[in-house]
């Protein structure tokens, strides 16, 4: 594991409000380590905050895994939120702005999708939900002998 | 070793748990006396040894009951219910003297030794296997006691953190009177639901107390504005309006402004200003008390 990966890669529980704070702090620090600019950092942290809260509130808790990815030119941060909650029966509806089954604004999922570069959601009713997001730094990272 | 164990199975007592339970009831007094001298009891009940002994009796009774149920390994056994609060208070008292949880745990573990000695002394004629079965049951039981103490100590710790959080909520939301009729709250840190509730209440109170016409929510110190934070902000703005005042949100940093747009938040009806100073300027002008500027053009957003 490279020096950068050491501060980036982590598996964090999402079981309480306090865990949400930890997730945000980790994503902020990890994205800064990878060289994301302030705006991109803020976007990633905000997307992570939305997805982690969904994991907690609707998924009944779960975890997030942060990994460092690279496509040879740029470094990226991938966040995978997973829970074994009830799943999402209608993905399209869940992703549409303004839809909420709770008391939220219904902007979390759709907003998170707009805040990151890549967004994938995999949900099976009765089994759980996994949301994977990835964003890439603008510049190539300093050479570190591969990821 | 392994051979012994298989051979022993035939001669182990039917139910070592209930045998340990009976032993505890018989030796209740001696054990309570011995425990009263152990650090856990001795240092908590410093005033009167009687109290330590009495506390010991209560714990022995609970253990005897749990063992009698044949559930030496079950921290959820109802037998523990009556001692849970006492144990929690003892562990908390030890923790207050600066003991780490693992030291408290070690002190609980130390209670096993006198119990073990009394038990073995009672079984001089029993077979080695019989003794082993009984001491094993006792060891498991004492391990379960340790678990119960740690559980209650932990929940005590959580309660403490909750209290501290509550206190922090209060100190972290000062409402400042900036001018006649203008109040402001500089928000710092995470704006979770509990915190935003406190913010809203204190702000509304001071709007009433100060007969404020403007309330400024400054979010310079809020690191993340997600949909929940935005929802809280908008609720606060709406509540301030209902009180007949106008709410201005200031301190939205450029990175946050861009994020809000992508998130799809519509702050359309909310009056926003770049900085607290700009918000104050806006409110003053609306109150008819404009600021006289030395140089023109200084009103630009920073
Ligand atoms: N991990 C999940 N498990 C089950 N259902 C989910 C999960 N994440 C989202 N949902 C469903 O999708 C809906 C939309 O989620 P979204 O985050 O967009 O809005 P919200 O959480 O309701 O409100 P907001 O995020 O704006 O506060 C939720 O109301 C919920 O029904
Ligand atoms: Mg949401």
Same domain, B15 and B73: yes
Question: CB-based contact (8 Å) between A39 and chain B?
Answer: yes
For the Cβ of B227 lying below 6 angstroms from any atom of ligand 1, the answer is yes
Same domain, B54 and B135: yes
Residue B301: inside a domain:
no
User: Can you give the residue range of the structural domain that contains A64?
Assistant: 3-136
Query: A106-123, pLDDT tens digit by residue?
Result: 999 999 999 999 999 999
Count structural domains, chain B. Answer: 2
Question: CB-based contact (8 Å) between A49 and chain B?
Answer: yes
CB contact at 8 A, B144 and B159: no
Q: Read off the CATH number of the domain in which B213 is found.
A: 3.30.750.24
A139 vs A125, more confident: A125
Residue B40: inside a domain:
yes
B7 vs A96, more confident: A96
Same domain, B142 and B216: no
Please indicate whether, in this complex, the C-beta atoms of B264 and A97 are within 8 angstroms of each other.
yes
Please indicate whether, in this complex, the C-beta atoms of B254 and A114 are within 8 angstroms of each other.
no
Q: What percent of chain A has pLDDT over 90?
A: 81
The closest CB to that of A104, out of B192, B231, B255, belongs to B231
Residue B128: inside a domain:
yes
Same domain, B182 and B144: no
Nearest CA to ligand 1 atom 27: A104
Same domain, B231 and B123: no
Query: What single-letter DSSP state applies at residue A39?
Result: H
ipTM of the modeled complex: 0.89
Per-residue confidence (pLDDT) for residue A52, from 0 to 100: 98
Q: Residue B204: left (phi > 0), alpha (psi -120 to 50), or beta? A: alpha
Per-residue confidence (pLDDT) for residue A4, from 0 to 100: 63
Q: Read off the CATH number of the domain in which B111 is found.
A: 1.10.490
Please indicate whether, in this complex, the C-beta atoms of B226 and A46 are within 8 angstroms of each other.
yes
Question: CB-based contact (8 Å) between A43 and chain B?
Answer: yes
Same domain, B130 and B191: no
Per-residue confidence (pLDDT) for residue B33, from 0 to 100: 95
Residue A61: inside a domain:
yes
Q: Name the pairing type of β-strands A128-136 and A75-83.
A: antiparallel
The closest CB to that of A53, out of B228, B254, B264, belongs to B228
Question: CB-based contact (8 Å) between A24 and chain B?
Answer: yes
Q: Read off the CATH number of the domain in which A19 is found.
A: 3.30.565.10
Same domain, B48 and B114: yes
Nearest CA to ligand 1 atom 11: A94
Please indicate whether, in this complex, the C-beta atoms of B192 and A53 are within 8 angstroms of each other.
no
The residues of chain B scoring below 70 in pLDDT are 1-13, 156-157, 163, 165-172, 291, 295-302
User: Can you give the residue range of the structural domain that contains B129?
Assistant: 9-156
Count structural domains, chain A. Answer: 1
Contacts of B60 (CB under 8 A, 6+ apart): B24, B27, B28, B31, B32, B35
Residue A10: inside a domain:
yes
DSSP for chain B, please give it.
-HHHHHHHGGGS-S-HHHHHHHHHHHTHHHHHHHHHTSHHHHTTS-S-HHHHHHHHHHHHHHHHHHHHTT-TT-TT-GGGHHHHHHHHHHHHHHHHTT--HHHHHHHHHHTHHHHHHHHHHH-SSS-HHHHHHHHHHHHHHHHHHHHHHHHHHHHHHHHHHHHHHHHHHHHT---EEEETTEEEEEEES---HHHHHHHHHHHHHHHHHTT-SEEEEEEEE-----HHHHHHHHHHHHHHHHTT-EEEEE---HHHHHHHHHHT---TTSEEESSHHHHHHHHHHHTT-PPPPSSTTTTS--
Query: A50-78, pLDDT tens digit by residue?
Result: 999 999 999 999 999 999 999 888 999 99
Same domain, B133 and B242: no
Residue B52: inside a domain:
yes
Same domain, B27 and B125: yes
Q: Å from A37 to nearest chain B CA?
A: 10
């Amino acid at each position: 594991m490279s020096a950068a990966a050491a501060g980036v890669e982590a598996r964090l529980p999402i079981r309480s409000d306090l865990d949400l704070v930890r997730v945000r702090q980790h994503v902020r620090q990890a994205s800064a380590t990878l060289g994301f600019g302030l705006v991109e950092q803020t976007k990633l942290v905000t997307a992570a905050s939305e997805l982690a809260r969904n994991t907690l509130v609707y998924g009944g808790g779960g975890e997030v895994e942060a990994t460092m990815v690279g496509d040879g030119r740029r470094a990226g941060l991938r966040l995978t939120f997973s829970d074994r909650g009830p799943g999402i029966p209608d993905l399209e509806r869940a992703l549409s702005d303004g839809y909420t089954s709770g008391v939220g604004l219904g902007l979390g999922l759709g907003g998170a999708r707009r805040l990151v570069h890549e967004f994938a959601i995999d949900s099976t009713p009765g089994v759980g939900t996994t949301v994977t997001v990835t964003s890439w730094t603008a510049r190539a990272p300093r050479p570190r002998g591969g990821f | 070793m392994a051979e012994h164990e298989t051979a022993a199975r035939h001669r182990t007592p039917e139910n070592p748990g209930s045998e340990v339970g009976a032993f505890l009831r018989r030796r209740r007094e001696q054990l309570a006396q011995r425990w009263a001298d152990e650090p856990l009891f001795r240092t908590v009940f410093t005033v009167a040894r009687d109290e330590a002994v009495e506390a010991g009796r209560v714990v022995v009774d609970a253990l005897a009951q749990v063992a009698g149920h044949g559930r030496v390994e079950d921290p959820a056994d109802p037998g523990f219910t009556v001692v849970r609060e006492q144990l929690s208070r003892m562990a908390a008292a030890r923790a207050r003297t600066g003991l780490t949880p693992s030291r408290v745990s070690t002190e609980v573990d130390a209670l096993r030794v006198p119990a073990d000695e009394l038990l073995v002394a009672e079984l001089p004629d029993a077979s080695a296997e019989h003794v082993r079965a009984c001491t094993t049951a006792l060891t498991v039981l004492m391990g379960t006691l340790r678990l119960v103490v740690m559980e209650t100590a932990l929940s005590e710790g959580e309660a403490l953190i909750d209290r501290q959080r509550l206190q922090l909520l209060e100190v972290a939301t000062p409402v400042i009177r900036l001018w006649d009729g203008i109040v402001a709250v500089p928000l710092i840190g995470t704006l979770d639901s509990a915190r935003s509730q406190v913010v809203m209440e204190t702000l509304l109170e001071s709007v009433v107390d100060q007969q404020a016409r403007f309330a400024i929510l400054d979010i310079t110190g809020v690191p993340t504005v997600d949909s929940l934070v935005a929802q809280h902000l908008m609720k606060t703005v709406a509540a301030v309006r209902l009180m007949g005042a106008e709410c201005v949100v200031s301190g939205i940093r450029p990175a946050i402004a861009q994020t809000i747009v992508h998130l799809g938040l519509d702050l359309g009806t909310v009056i926003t200003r770049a900085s607290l100073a700009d918000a104050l300027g806006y409110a003053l002008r609306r109150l008819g008390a404009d600021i006289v500027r030395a140089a023109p053009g200084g009103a630009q957003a920073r």
